[in-house]
Amino acid sequence: MFTRKTALAAALVIGTAGTAVFAAAMDPDVQARQEVMGMIGANMKTIGEMAQGKIAFDAAAAQAAFATIAENAAKVPTVFETESNTDPESEARDDIWMNWEDFVTKATALQSAAEAGAGVDSPEALGAAMGPLGGACKDCHTLYKE
């Protein structure tokens, strides 16, 4: 059975593994950005797999994932504030800093979409929340990620 403890343990393992992958980045600003984005990605994977039926729906785990995404989305403007794009491990485009207000608006939209999904209590509610959340990710990545 997929319990809240199992979901949280899985998120921690995935998050830790993601951090290890990003350890190759030398620039501490790039490392911080990759850690935040890695947490968002790991939790998107969890709720995405639930939405696709690859893992059983667990309301508590889904709610925790949405909350973690919202929490990390709120950090995006801070971790990207310093223009630092010389690390070869960075996937950030220079357009982020050239279009800063738009970038921050998109990060805020991601946070809002995650907060809106934080109360999911059924697979149907999860499916409905995934559209705006995935759209917010795509809107930003299309313009600002290599």
Query: Average pLDDT of 53-71?
Result: 98
pLDDT in tens, 80-137: 999 887 788 899 999 999 999 999 999 999 999 999 999 999 999 999 999 999 999 9
Least confident range of 10-24, 26-40, 58-72, 85-99: 10-24
pLDDT, residue 24, reads 67
Task: Kindly tell me if the per-residue pLDDT of 7 is higher than 60.
Answer: no
Look over the chain and give the mean of its residue pLDDT values, rounded to a whole number: 88
Q: Sketch the domain layout of the chain as residue ranges.
A: 4-144
Residue the block writes with tokens 């485009």: 93
Residue 34 binned pLDDT confidence (cut-offs 50, 70, 90): very high
The structure's pTM equals 0.82
Chain centre distance of CA 13: 15
Tell me how far apart the alpha carbons of residues 128 and 7 are, in angstroms, rounded to a whole number. 21
Query: Average pLDDT of 48-76?
Result: 98
DSSP, res 23: T
pLDDT, residue 5, reads 47
Does the domain at residues 4-144 carry the CATH identifier 1.20.120.10? yes
Q: Find, among 52, 53, 71, the residue nearest to 63 by Cα.
A: 71
